[in-house]
A and B are shown apart, each in its own frame.
Chain A
Amino acid sequence: MAGYILKRLFSAIPVLLGISIIVFLIMAMIPGDPATAILGSYATPENVEKLNRDLGLDKPLVQRYFIWLGNMLQGDFGRSFSLNRAVLDEVMERFNATLILAGTSFVICSVLGVAAGVVSAARQYGLADKAITFAVLLGISIPSFFLGMMMILIFAVNLRWFPVSGMWPIYGARDLSALLSHLTLPASALAVVATGVIARLSRSAMLEVMRQDFIRTARAKGVHERSVIWRHALRAAMVSIIPVLGIQAGFVLSGAVYIEMVFQWPGVGRMLVDAILKRDILLVQGGVVFVAACYVMFNIAVDVAQGLLDPRIKT
């Protein structure tokens, strides 16, 4: 197992190098440069040239890439010019906020999605199945940013149960209950689509397993139906559900971009959108590489978990 993990970690290196080259090239190729973005109306060629020199953007492309890469390997991601702050500090802080949002959302969609899928499969074509299938279809079909705006309108503006936006209260204690009240709406809005997808796939995975012989055997032995479903069948179905969870974790992470915009959650998605609009090259590059690295690590963890769950998957 340790050898497998090590092998996977090594294989991540070319992936990350590739990502760093792609994001660097994209930022170099997109029209509009940081100096123009900063100067706006005042971007005369003379002013742009001077500012580019001040920002260190007058060097050749290849040289800039290796300077950036070299610094990054030493843990120096550079300085964001749009926020006037070290890129790594900003990215870590923002990523933390995204993890709280996406993590909560991921827990919600995994638990609800798998539970709904199991119930649906256990009651195939029954009332519960039909109700769940309908709700799932509805959930998958509503764009999350629209759902987010509607939730703000209903639960924050009209009913005033939850705050409209942000992660912490402007005044008052920064405790768990303050965080939860800010987290409820965005985490729910973000979880809806993923819950639907997971529920659908869990249902079919469960149906597949429940047709197999060992389930019939368990039932014949007189094992309680609840135990058949939740212990025997679900455990077997998890092997095909877990990769889906892994993929959904990626979707939740990328879906967080919209939700962070709508709810003004101070996460890494909103940071990247702002940074791209301002052509904050180092912040975009550093942010993307960092998020990609986390995503790669997460996938490795999922694969390892799958291996642990099902010894047949050879490492």
Chain B
Amino acid sequence: MKLMELTRRALLASTAAFALGLGVLPAQAQTPEDVLIVGQIAEPKALDPAAVTAVNDFRILMNVYDGLVRYKDGTLEVEPALATDWSISDDGTVYTFNLRNGVTFHDGSAFNAEAVKFNFDRMLDEGHPYHDTGPFPLAFFFSAVEAVEVVDPLTVKFTLNAPYAPFLSNLAYPTGLIVSPAAVAKHGSEFGRNPSGTGPFKFAEWRSNEAVVVEANADYWGGAPELQAVVFRPITDANTRTAEMLAGGIDLMVEVPPVALSEFQGDGFTVHEQAGPHVWFLILNAKEGPFADVRVRQAANYAINKEAIVNDVLEGTAAVAAGPTPPAFAWAYNDSLEPYPYNPDKARELIAAAGAEGAELTFYVTEGGSGMLDPVAMGTAIQADLEAVGLDVKIETYEWNTFLGEVNPGLEGKADMAEMAWMTNDPDTLPFLALRTDAWPDKGGFNSGYYSNPKVDELLEAARASTDQAERARLYQEMQTIVQEDAPWVFVANWKQNAVTSDRVGDFSLQPSFFLLLDDVTKN
């Protein structure tokens, strides 16, 4: 009996103590003023722009570094940044940049033509003394660069081995951001953890797996930012990120899961959306099987209810895609293109005409992956739509890296269709790497469905070589019309990037580039 009494007493006492303790616990403190806490999706790999590939890392880098050029606010068109202006030779192979005067890196060293040359030589020249600070996985963005020459301290000249229109756009991409040569020399392979650029924020501290802290650069050539500091917190689990946002532990959250958006409809939050240069599609195997017939490929485009996928599966976080080029590339996009309407009857007619009723199809689906949205749920919805028009679809699901290993070498002999998504910084890269005859997998490209149309090849080659934007636009728009008709893919969705800010955050907007630019943002 004694024991029981004791336990009961002890239990009561400890419960009371616990309750009291909790009662006096202060509510968790608010985040400080003028310091923006950003909920990121992962720990960055490095803060060396030449060494990283993930959008997650770019979100930090774009605030610490500048490139020679950058994207104009709200667009994917380039404007001057560290270069004030430039000229392009008539044959499109020589670019001469005039550099901004009086800019210094955060470490105090001067920004000049030598620094620009250092940056590109480090990435491209295997004999460069600091090439071993890599690897530089995206250096091939600049593989057309043959030489970088210092004309005078504020003039630098790039010579390309052939005309290459995406060059300027690639310079605006994070891989083209300019790092401090002095800092690279000082830190060597540890530069990625001790970054130094010219941007609106300078690096302050990196606590592994907790936070990257950047502070305002009061001497920024574009004017000091409004915030005192930004803290980037890696929170890989989307549910936990949502909970942190709801609890006030972060002020800004990127990549809100579609199902969580309804949580932020209240007064305390603002949901931001911005269509980006993203396209989600199905690669169809045009070399063999039912999809070798263009009518069956078109039938698949008619049969799949894309409206239902973007509204119900993706909860409105994407728009229906009309063709291979995302509308975010406004100047190159063909506005007259209408998406294939949802028309199962028309699909059945086309399938009957092609004699493909009841055809068995193998469909590669991934479990996740960069830009893949909700691939399993989308794959299942697509399977149901195709079965409704009389095709027998068998899904095979793979983990992302395995999936890429199956799809990139080509679908021949394995599958009839596969999910895929791309996000690029120019309208050139995706069709060039994934729709040309010369981009079949055996030739080192990503045309895993073996689409081939000589006219499209011709248009793509010409558009990439031309430096006249109007001419490029005309060529790309014509290409989109042909490709939509040929239907090498099922064009499904263009993802809208989203973010949530608390009501303490002001002047924030998302960019179509999917980068996060924070120099004008305020917080009280």
B152 interface residue per 8 A CB criterion:
no
**Known contacts A94-B209, A128-B4, A264-B240; A43 and B247 CB within 8 A of each other:** no
A113 interface residue per 8 A CB criterion:
no
Q: Tell me the nearest residue of chain B to A226, going by C-beta.
A: B3
Contact of A166 among B27, B135, B210, B404 (CB under 8 A): B210
B51 interface residue per 8 A CB criterion:
yes
Interchain nearest-CB distance for A255 vs B (Å) = 16
For A54, the chain B residues whose CB sits under 8 A away are 134-135
Q: Tell me the nearest residue of chain A to B47, going by C-beta.
A: A84
Q: Contact: A119 with B31, CB < 8 Å?
A: no
Q: Contact: B135 with A55, CB < 8 Å?
A: yes
Kindly state the separation between the CA atoms of A171 and B250 in the bound complex, as whole angstroms.
12
For A18, the chain B residues whose CB sits under 8 A away are none
Q: Contact: B27 with A160, CB < 8 Å?
A: yes
Q: Tell me the nearest residue of chain B to A53, going by C-beta.
A: B135
B341 interface residue per 8 A CB criterion:
no
Stretch of A8-16, A30-38, A66-74, A243-251 on the interface side: A30-38
Q: Contact: A47 with B140, CB < 8 Å?
A: yes
Kindly state the separation between the CA atoms of A42 and B432 in the bound complex, as whole angstroms.
12
For B42, the chain A residues whose CB sits under 8 A away are 274
Q: Contact: B401 with A225, CB < 8 Å?
A: no
A203 interface residue per 8 A CB criterion:
no
Stretch of A149-157, A192-200, A209-217 on the interface side: A149-157
Q: Contact: A153 with B32, CB < 8 Å?
A: no
Q: Contact: A119 with B28, CB < 8 Å?
A: no
For A164, the chain B residues whose CB sits under 8 A away are 240, 243-244, 247, 249
- Interface bits A263-297 vs B (CB < 8 Å: 1, else 0): 11010001100100101000000000000000000
Q: Tell me the nearest residue of chain A to B191, going by C-beta.
A: A84
B235 interface residue per 8 A CB criterion:
yes
For B406, the chain A residues whose CB sits under 8 A away are 31
Q: Contact: B3 with A41, CB < 8 Å?
A: no
Taking CB atoms and an 8 Å cut-off, the chain A residues in 5-58 that contact chain B are 30-33, 35-47, 51, 54-55
Kindly state the separation between the CA atoms of A134 and B248 in the bound complex, as whole angstroms.
37
Contact of A162 among B28, B37, B208 (CB under 8 A): B28
Kindly state the separation between the CA atoms of A101 and B244 in the bound complex, as whole angstroms.
20
Q: Contact: B246 with A44, CB < 8 Å?
A: no
B414 interface residue per 8 A CB criterion:
no
B20 interface residue per 8 A CB criterion:
no
Q: Contact: B43 with A32, CB < 8 Å?
A: no
Contact of B370 among A40, A51, A156, A274 (CB under 8 A): A40
**Known contacts A55-B135, A84-B45; A226 and B210 CB within 8 A of each other:** no
For A226, the chain B residues whose CB sits under 8 A away are 2-3, 6
For B209, the chain A residues whose CB sits under 8 A away are 94, 266, 270-271
Q: Classify chain B's interface size.
A: 35 or more
Q: Tell me the nearest residue of chain B to A148, going by C-beta.
A: B240
Q: Contact: A122 with B3, CB < 8 Å?
A: yes
Q: Tell me the nearest residue of chain B to A266, going by C-beta.
A: B209
For A237, the chain B residues whose CB sits under 8 A away are none
For B58, the chain A residues whose CB sits under 8 A away are none
**Known contacts A39-B53, A160-B27; A165 and B32 CB within 8 A of each other:** no
Contact of A170 among B6, B192, B210, B446 (CB under 8 A): B210
Number of A-B contacts (CB under 8 A): 161
For A225, the chain B residues whose CB sits under 8 A away are 2-3
For A39, the chain B residues whose CB sits under 8 A away are 53, 137
Q: Contact: A170 with B237, CB < 8 Å?
A: no
Kindly state the separation between the CA atoms of A212 and B13 in the bound complex, as whole angstroms.
34
Q: Classify chain A's interface size.
A: 35 or more
Q: Which of B209, B231, B404, B446 has the most CB of A within 10 A?
A: B209
**Known contacts A38-B53, A157-B247; A123 and B140 CB within 8 A of each other:** no
Kindly state the separation between the CA atoms of A47 and B141 in the bound complex, as whole angstroms.
11
For A90, the chain B residues whose CB sits under 8 A away are 208
Kindly state the separation between the CA atoms of A82 and B211 in the bound complex, as whole angstroms.
17
For B424, the chain A residues whose CB sits under 8 A away are 41
For A35, the chain B residues whose CB sits under 8 A away are 137
- Interface bits B237-276 vs A (CB < 8 Å: 1, else 0): 1011001101111000000000000000000000000000
For A271, the chain B residues whose CB sits under 8 A away are 209
Kindly state the separation between the CA atoms of A175 and B37 in the bound complex, as whole angstroms.
21
For B28, the chain A residues whose CB sits under 8 A away are 156, 160-163
Q: Contact: A83 with B401, CB < 8 Å?
A: no
Kindly state the separation between the CA atoms of A187 and B488 in the bound complex, as whole angstroms.
53
A88 interface residue per 8 A CB criterion:
no
Q: Contact: B370 with A41, CB < 8 Å?
A: yes
> B residues engaging A (CB < 8 A)?
2-4, 6-7, 22, 25, 27-29, 31-32, 35, 37, 42-43, 45-46, 48, 51, 53, 134-135, 137-138, 140, 189, 192-193, 207-211, 231, 233-237, 239-240, 243-244, 246-249, 369-371, 398-402, 404-406, 408, 422-424, 433, 444-446
Please name 10 further chain A to chain B contacts, defined as beta carbons within 8 Å, in addition to the given A152-B243, A172-B29, A266-B209, sorted by A numbering: A31-B405, A32-B399, A32-B402, A46-B444, A90-B208, A119-B3, A165-B244, A262-B237, A270-B209, A274-B43
Instruction: Provide a sorted-by-A list of 11 A–B residue pairs whose CB atoms are within 8 angstroms.
Output: A32-B399, A42-B140, A43-B408, A44-B444, A81-B135, A122-B3, A157-B243, A167-B210, A170-B31, A264-B237, A271-B209
Give the 8 A-B residue pairs with the shortest CB-CB distance, closest first: A32-B401, A266-B209, A54-B135, A31-B402, A84-B46, A160-B27, A164-B244, A164-B243
